Amino acid sequence: MAKSQPLFSLLLFIFISGTISQSIIQLSRDHDVYCNSWRFSVETNDVGYWDQVPSRCVSYVQDYMTGDGYRSDSEVAASYALGFAKTVEIAGDGKDAWVFDVDETLLSNLPYYAVHGFGYNLLPNSFSDSTREEVVIMISFRTIAELTDRIDCSAPFKLSESFDELSFDEWVDLAEAPAIKASLNLYKELKQLGFTVFMLTGRSEHQRNATAKNLQLEGYSDWERLILRESSDQGKPATLYKSQRRLELVNEGYRIHGNSGDQWSDLYGFAVSERSFKLPNPLYYIP
């Protein structure tokens, strides 16, 4: 009996370890199955208009955005965009064009949404308003995971219940939105290949300086035109506004080969590109 005890203990250990491992994996998978499906339905536009992440998926979205998932999805989408771009014959007349959206396409507002929105109620109540503002300013794309590790995620919290345009405009004016690395790399490759790049954003004309400054600080350069909403565009659905602007480019003789955007309203409508590339965004929906 004494001889067989270590073997028995080992077998018991392996058995229990296996059981625990299986249980944890199963728990983790069960938790994610529905939210994965919700995200599938968001990204395929099956959901249509939505204004709030389902409460059971808030921590899932937080994990996705701050973990490997969002980074990997952005990289793979960019790789297919580049793969297509390399098949385009560049005529050399400067008319071979690529259109990029800005928010959640070239620049990430995750530092903003981590505090206002999915992160807001995660911050300890002891944080004063000025501290919250500092967090918005200091936080970088790379350190969100660190922030979320430091705060208590067990309390119930909510996400993006109402979009606060005023505070978002203040964030835009800071010009501190980090580049989405995969998009920055794609942008540089497209420039190398000889594409003429247009930026077509739902931001307003009065945000031109801050937007251009932010883009330049993050490494974007030599774009042909940064197109923003003029006063006559206010109130237009994004699909219409962006389609009209693309049509103007087509009428100027540009051949829009590719279009990268995180919203279907960046990609649908008329004067659409030869190929569209949907970037991930489970944070918000723009019709």
Site for a copy of itself, rule CB under 8 A: 13, 16-17, 20-21, 24-25, 28-30, 33-34, 36-38, 40-41, 43-48, 68-69, 72-73, 75-77, 80-81, 84, 275-278, 280
Tell me the closest approach of the beta carbon of residue 19 to a copy of itself, in angstroms.
Answer: 9
Q: Closer to a copy of itself at the Cβ: 26 or 209?
A: 26
CB of 68 or CB of 134, closer to a copy of itself: 68
State both tokens at 100: 């990029």
**Which H or E run includes 258?**
strand 255-261
Q: Answer whether 277's CB lies under 8 Å from 80's CB.
A: yes
The nearest distance, CB 248 to a copy of itself, in angstroms, is 23
Backbone angles phi, psi at 6, to 5 degrees: -60, -40
Nearer to a copy of itself (CB atom), residue 33 or residue 151: 33
Cβ atoms of 74 and 147 closer than 8 Å: no
The CA distances from residue 13 to 5, 22, 166, 222, in Å, are: 12, 14, 57, 61
CA angle 46, 49, 52 (to 5 degrees): 105
Structure tokens at 60: 């899932």
**Minimum distance, C-beta of residue 21 to a copy of itself, in the bound complex (Å):** 5
**Other beta carbons less than 10 A from residue 51's beta carbon:** 10
What's the min distance (Å) between Cβ of 9 and a copy of itself? 8
Cβ proximity to a copy of itself, 77 vs 226, nearer residue: 77
Closest to a copy of itself by CB, 89 or 252: 89
Kindly state the smallest distance separating residue 136's Cβ from a copy of itself, in Å: 29
